[in-house]
Amino acid sequence: IALHAVLLGIFVLVSWKLFNRKKLGKTIEGPFPLPVLGNALSFGSTPHVAMGKWANKYGKIYQMYIGHDRHIVLSDLD
């Protein structure tokens, strides 16, 4: 029973986090983050290349997550 309670708690926490991410980020597009890690695995050894690809795909302003932290990226001065 304790394992079921822990699993239910984790499920509720992850669902709540994902719901809030979608609610906060409706107007700004960006790559879909993984739970806990965010977009950290997408960087690889060349994060500037990944961020350049995201700028081409999502526009001059996009959002990304590192862990649970949301970052708004501005890729152009204009």
**Which 3 state secondary structure label does DSSP give 34?**
strand
CA distance 58 to 30: 6
**Considering the entire predicted model, what is its pTM?**
0.64
Give the mean pLDDT of the chain.
84
| 17-21: long-range contacts, CB 8 A cutoff, minimum separation 24 | 17/68, 21/65, 21/70
The full set of domain ranges for the chain reads 2-74
pLDDT tens sequence across 12-45: 887 777 766 656 556 788 998 888 888 999 988 9
